Amino acid sequence: MPIKVIDQLPAVEALSAENVFVMTESRALSQDIRPLKIAILNLMPNKVATEIQLLRLLANSPLQVDVELIRLDNHVSKHTPQNHLDCFYRYFSDVEQQNYDGLIITGAPLGLVNYEDVSYWPQLSEILTWADRHVTSTLFLCWAAHAALYHYYGLQREIRGEKLSGVYWQNVCQPLSPLVRGFDDEFLVPHSRYAQVPKQKYQHHPDLHVLAEADVTGAYLLQNSTGSRVFVTGHPEYDLTTLNDEYQRDLAAGLEPKIPENYYKQNDPAKGPHKLWQSHAFLLFSNWLNYYVYQATPFDIQQIGQQL
């Protein structure tokens, strides 16, 4: 949350130059406050595990957040009990007339499938178009980030020679962006994907800004000029054991996967993993909620479509 000070305090200019968010008294007096309304479109097979991961990160904020779980209308989940879906999720068709302050769209295990061959691509495309009119800011994770870059900008991913799996250092390249406010110059993030969009493709779109990247992973964190679209190509939400679970699954399937890089203690699966990315995951979600949702959304949620 911002600190609130008198408008003319000399420290305001100095702190702002250091990328510290200071709210002047006049602005604070004009603010109305209400709970943020955040929707999650959960495309991951194990929806319960993903719910825990995302809610953990959303909860690490002084802001009050009302979460609504959304599912696709004509897609049957094979890994989540039907009674769980019926009890806790709403179909998109039931909420498409509503507005949301924020929307999170998760990844999906579809890294080797053409977008148009995904059974639910037509409705997902509809949701991406809908989000521009009904959501203040949308956060796309991993597969959803690449799918959204394709939908909005026509950026086609390239399939890597081998799966990118591990925990990798990322470099902040636009430190004055509010989304990376408080980040270290370098930070660790899990990645688990086959696809990548080459950096030169982003450079042809002036509306896209790369905020953090690495040579081995490519662009990790991007946003459009207004912050209404935030693209995260990794998995900051992953639990300690998620990469290990995927590795063991691929081993059991006979895929001969490489050991996830920089993940296990002494690079030995027998010694177990260690978690080195959680603090930046919390900070990323807090920054998104504060600067791109809370600070940007109108008090009257019905006005969202009018301001976008």
Catalytic residue flag (residue 134): no
Rounded Cα distance, 38 and 93, in Å? 17
Catalytic residue flag (residue 237): yes
The reply to whether 249 sits in an annotated binding site is yes
* Phi, psi (degrees; rounded to nearest 5) at 207: -80, -10
Which is catalytic among the residues 151, 191, 209, 237?
237
Catalytic residue flag (residue 213): no
Which is catalytic among the residues 142, 151, 213, 246?
142
Which is catalytic among the residues 134, 191, 235, 280?
235
- Residue 84, judged by CB atoms within 10 A of its CB (0-12, 13-18, 19+), counts as middle
Residues of each annotated binding site: 163, 192, 249
The residues annotated as belonging to the active site are: 142, 235, 237
Residues of each annotated binding site for substrate: 163, 192, 249
